[in-house]
């Protein structure tokens, strides 16, 4: 910078200062190509325009294949000539960024013609975002991407900085889709349960919800050999917490001195005259709100599938979906955990087709193969669920589950995990 002074008059009239250089023109830098925020806003608008089923358009011209570049394009070079000058042509790779590159079609007379290996999203290749998303839902990060590319004789993958930028973009897009799915789930919940003011004393608190949830699970596991026993144990907690001193409703509770119900203990010990309930019973509003839920959760069709005490299929478990994306045994950042939780929630609620919505929100075009895979995966999920419910396949699972139950019972006894309705009657 020169040493010529600029006086105040010149600075005010020309809007210039010696100590401030002119603004540099933007120069594209390949490692910062993913810093393109315009797609995030556009993607958010696209998601908002989708209907309630998160429909994603299908592009039949999007099809990917793995090929040996040298073998394929050497053969093509021997078969074709330049259309303009009739000279031999050859193909070269240029502008490599991750899995994306350009094919330079060259001859001795004409200027090179460039063909993109995949569509562009701003300054970036679409294939990189697609690849990182798919590897992420398989539980693999940057090192997994590098290992895949290395062992497949593919070029070295992106550097950490570019990978982090793509993950940040993926997080924003996944959050956008997740919010839409959560809003849809909330609307469906409102249609199922009529909203009421259920907070306060004797109302439906978070602590009580957790307690009733635990007791429902215990009722299933401890009585899995009989539908009638499961139903009786389920309704025992409902009537137990609706009981008052004036109107006790403990007929469904386990009787005898060893019962978890203090009222039944008092009956067994002839102390009923001095017995007082030590907890606040649920109000009528709460009872009316949760009774339909208990009706649904105690139907024969549902309890029949619980005979034997077998668990939900791991492939459909929400927690299992999270641990596939982010391993429990490996440390992960909060961003990765959030991405895993949101993707799992969307897939759990909407099925495999939720992946299409999230990829589309990242600016990625989905072809026929992706749509077919998601449709077939969802159909298989439904078919497997129906198959597991059939009596012919249930008997073997009942036997295996009963064999495992003895081992679990020993572990529970060793750890003194004895808890149930009535041990803590404070609500």
Return per-residue pLDDT of the chain as tens, 427 residues.
Answer: 445 555 665 655 555 555 555 555 544 555 555 555 444 443 334 334 444 456 888 888 888 988 999 999 999 999 999 988 999 999 999 999 889 999 999 998 899 999 999 999 888 899 999 999 999 888 888 888 988 888 888 888 888 888 888 888 888 888 888 888 888 777 776 665 544 455 555 566 767 777 788 888 888 878 877 888 888 888 888 888 888 888 888 888 888 887 888 888 888 888 888 888 887 788 787 888 888 888 888 888 777 767 765 555 544 567 777 777 887 767 778 888 888 888 888 888 888 888 998 998 888 889 888 899 888 888 888 887 777 666 545 565 566 666 666 555 545 544 444 444 444 443 3
Distance in Å from the first CA to the final CA of the chain:
76
Tell me which DSSP letter residue 81 carries.
B
Tell me, what's the pLDDT at 11? 59
DSSP letter for each residue of 160-229: HHHHHHHHHHHHHHHHHHHHHHHHHHHHHHHHHS------STTS--HHHHHHHHHHHHHHHHHTTT-HHH
Q: How far is CA 342 from CA 67, 120, 322, 326, 338, in A?
A: 34, 26, 9, 12, 6
Tell me, what's the pLDDT at 74? 92
Angle, in degrees to the nearest 10, between helices 160-192 and 353-361: 130
Residues 164, 136 contacting (CB under 8 angstroms): no
DSSP letter for each residue of 392-405: HHHHHHHHHHHHHH
Classify burial at 101, counting beta carbons within 10 Å of its beta carbon; exposed 0-12, middle 13-18, buried 19 or more: buried
Tell me, what's the pLDDT at 106? 93
Tell me, what's the pLDDT at 49? 42
Tell me, what's the pLDDT at 102? 94
Residues 216, 294 contacting (CB under 8 angstroms): no
- Does the pTM surpass 0.75? The reply is no
Tell me, what's the pLDDT at 48? 42
Residues 344, 321 contacting (CB under 8 angstroms): yes
DSSP letter for each residue of 96-145: EETTEEEEEEEESSSPPEEEESS-EETTEEHHHHHHHHHHHHTT--HHHH
């Amino acid at each position: 910078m020169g040493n010529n002074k600029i006086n105040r008059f010149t600075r005010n009239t020309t809007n210039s200062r010696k100590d401030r250089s002119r603004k540099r023109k933007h120069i594209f830098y390949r490692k910062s190509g993913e810093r393109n925020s315009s797609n995030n806003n556009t993607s958010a608008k696209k998601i908002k325009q989708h209907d309630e089923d998160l429909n994603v358009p299908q592009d039949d011209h999007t099809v990917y294949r793995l090929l040996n570049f040298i073998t394929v394009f050497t053969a093509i070079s021997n078969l074709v000539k330049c259309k303009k000058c009739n000279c031999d042509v050859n193909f070269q790779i240029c502008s490599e960024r991750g899995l994306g590159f350009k094919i330079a079609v060259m001859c001795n007379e004409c200027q090179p013609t460039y063909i993109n290996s995949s569509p562009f999203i701003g300054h970036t290749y679409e294939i990189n975002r697609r690849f990182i998303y798919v590897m992420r839902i398989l539980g693999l990060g940057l090192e997994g991407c590098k290992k895949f590319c290395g062992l497949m004789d593919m070029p070295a993958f992106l550097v950490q900085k570019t990978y982090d930028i793509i993950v940040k973009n993926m997080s924003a897009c996944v959050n956008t889709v997740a919010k839409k799915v959560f809003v849809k789930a909330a609307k469906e919940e409102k249609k199922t349960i009529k909203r009421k003011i259920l907070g306060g004393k004797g109302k439906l608190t978070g602590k009580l919800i957790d307690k009733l949830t635990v007791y429902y699970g215990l009722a299933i596991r401890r009585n899995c050999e009989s539908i009638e026993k499961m139903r009786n144990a389920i309704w025992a907690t409902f009537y137990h917490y609706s009981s008052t001193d004036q109107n006790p409703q403990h007929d469904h509770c386990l009787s005898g001195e060893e019962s978890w119900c203090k009222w039944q203990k008092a009956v067994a010990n002839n102390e009923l005259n001095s017995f007082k309930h030590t907890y606040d019973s649920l109000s009528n509003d709460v009872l009316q709100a949760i009774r339909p839920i208990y009706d649904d959760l105690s139907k024969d069709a549902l309890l029949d599938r619980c005979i034997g005490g077998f668990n939900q299929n791991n492939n459909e478990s929400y927690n299992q979906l999270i641990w596939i994306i982010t391993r429990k045994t490996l440390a992960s950042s909060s961003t990765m955990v959030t991405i895993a939780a949101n993707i799992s929630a969307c897939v759990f609620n909407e099925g495999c087709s939720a992946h299409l919505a999230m990829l589309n929100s990242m600016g990625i075009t989905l072809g026929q193969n992706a749509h077919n895979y998601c449709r077939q995966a969802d159909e298989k999920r439904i078919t497997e669920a129906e198959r597991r419910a059939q009596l012919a396949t249930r008997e073997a699972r009942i036997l295996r589950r009963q064999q495992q139950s003895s081992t679990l019972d020993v572990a529970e006894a060793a750890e003194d995990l004895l808890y149930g309705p009535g041990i803590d009657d404070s609500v």
